[in-house]
Structure 1
């Protein structure tokens, strides 16, 4: 079963339209000119504007130093007219990511990247929660595998999922192939965020598995692909449930980020 992320996202937006419109603006900060980062921000901007939310994008050159960026963040965050602040990742490698993120007031942290200090749930974790609820997946007594230990996907998903399933395995992309094969074959739920096209194939999974794919990369032809290769699904995999790429987790993630903005500005 293909899990239609665009449809689920539209349902979230329809619910948000019924709520009072936040009067404050949603601000975003972009350092450098990473095309993927700019593309992600444009999606967030489009969603915000469609709901009538004022969206402000602040662009800074890649050669800005950390202290300079911190001062800009603090100035934007101190504005009472700003109700939410996004710092688009990744940042330049010479930056202390945690120190930068710590500059976001927790009542404006729509990405919920401050972990236990955040007042909202990470949009990635909330997207997983949304999908599992939509398909009626009960985590109790299930075995889940998280592929990828990254800051943006693996870590928030692990924190959300670890006390909800019976067993959980977290694999790095460099894990032993035998362990990967054994884990994937037994998993009821696989959440992947590695960014390596074709990393997971249908014939490696249980026929009833659920695959939630946050992986994002472009192949040699520039086509966007996820970690799960859905093109290999055949008659033997008819009970698989999976998110496609594009059109799977991405739209829901954007919708849940906007939902966080509403929740922080009630």
Structure 2
């Protein structure tokens, strides 16, 4: 078993981006600027946004955080989004999910300019991705692809099973893994809460990508010998032995599955760190106007 170490891989990617940014600025390029909108005080969102801001500082980006209380109206949030759309200094921005229930996530996501949609959630970027056109790829799928590339994991002709059909991870991963390039050229099965014989389907996977949000759901009897296992899940579970009072668990029971896997991602220290790299890469592309002029 080999560990797909998100900490080591993400550190290398951030080092590479930092050097590229320094060269870009030295040649007269604009300092990349990533902004984030955070509504309310969700603990996981706070942690994630703080990590993004730290990463921006590490690699030489400018970062801006706009905070709003949970009582903000949809109209007011749309005005904030429009303000960032029209801010020439902001290259890309994200609206951290989840949002309060009285605000439509789809309405907010569709209000973000596709050219600044560095999370890759806008229908224009999703559509371009589906057609194989230049687009911002959602940050988590982007990070998973980078893990496969840097570990030189063969994907062509393999059976990839994706558990979960979310528009953020499961659906785009299923599309990306079947495209006619590397990583890709897989035969893909996408599974979900209504799938029958889930365990039997997972047992046929050469590459198993798990993104369903249920801690330690996948055990060894779901996994065939030698499979590549990518765990996207991240859930806080009460653990009184921890100083924080909770432990971070993935969707895969790591200790149970690891002995059967050829490669496996840990949680924490796996895909989550790669997600931030995807966001930083997309922001740098936005600053260089690689996708949109």
TM-score (norm 2): 0.84
Deviation for aligned residue 1:162: 3.2
Instruction: State whether structure 2 residue 28 is matched by structure 1 residue 23.
Output: no
Give the superposition deviation at 1:105. Answer: 1.4
Do structure 1's residue 147 and structure 2's residue 163 form an aligned pair?
yes
Cα shift readout 1:152-183 (whole Å, capped 9, x = no counterpart): 2112212212333442111113533xx11111
Are residues 57 and 117 of structure 1, via their aligned partners in 2, closer, same or farther at CA, if it must alter by over 3 Å? farther
- One of 211, 221, 238 as aligned partner of 1:203: 221
Deviation at 1:233, TM superposition (A): 4.4
Cα RMSD of the aligned pairs, angstroms, is 1.7
Displacement after TM superposition at 1:24 (Å): 4.2
Alignment match, 1:116? 127
Instruction: Give the aligned partner of residue 67 of structure 1.
Output: 75
Show structure 2 runs of 5+ residues with no match: 130-134, 240-245, 289-293
1:86-125 matches, cutoff 5 A: 86-114=94-122, 115-116=126-127, 119-125=135-141
Describe the shift of the 1:172–1:121 C-alpha distance in structure 2 as closer, same or farther (beyond 3 A). Answer: same
Q: Report the counterpart of residue 240 of structure 1 in structure 2.
A: 262
Tell me, yes or no, if the aligned pair for 2:33 and 2:283 is still in contact at 8 Å.
Answer: no
**Inter-partner Cα distance in structure 2 for 1:75 and 1:14:** 31
**Structure 1 residue 76 displacement after superposition:** 2.0
Aligned to 1:2: 3
Does the C-alpha gap of structure 1 residues 244 and 126 become closer, same or farther in structure 2, counting only changes over 3 Å? same
Greater mean deviation of Cα atoms: 95-104 or 79-88 = 95-104
Residue 189 (structure 2) pairs with residue 169 (structure 1): yes
Query: CA 1:162 to 1:94, structure 2 compared with 1: closer, same or farther past 3 Å?
Result: farther
Q: Secondary structure at the match of 1:82?
A: coil
Question: What do residues 218-259 of structure 1 show as CA deviations (whole Å, max 9, x unaligned)?
Answer: 12211001011112247x52x531100000011111112101
In structure 2, how many angstroms separate the alpha carbons of the residues matched to 1:47 and 1:166?
Answer: 33
Q: What's the secondary structure of 1:186's corresponding residue?
A: coil
Distance (Å, rounded) in 1 between the aligned partners of 2:266 and 2:193 = 20
The count of residues paired between Structure 1 and Structure 2 equals 262
Give the Cα–Cα distance (whole angstroms) in 1 for the partners of residues 263 and 140 of structure 2.
Answer: 18
TM-score by length of 1: 0.93
Structure 1 segments unaligned to the other structure (5+ residues): none
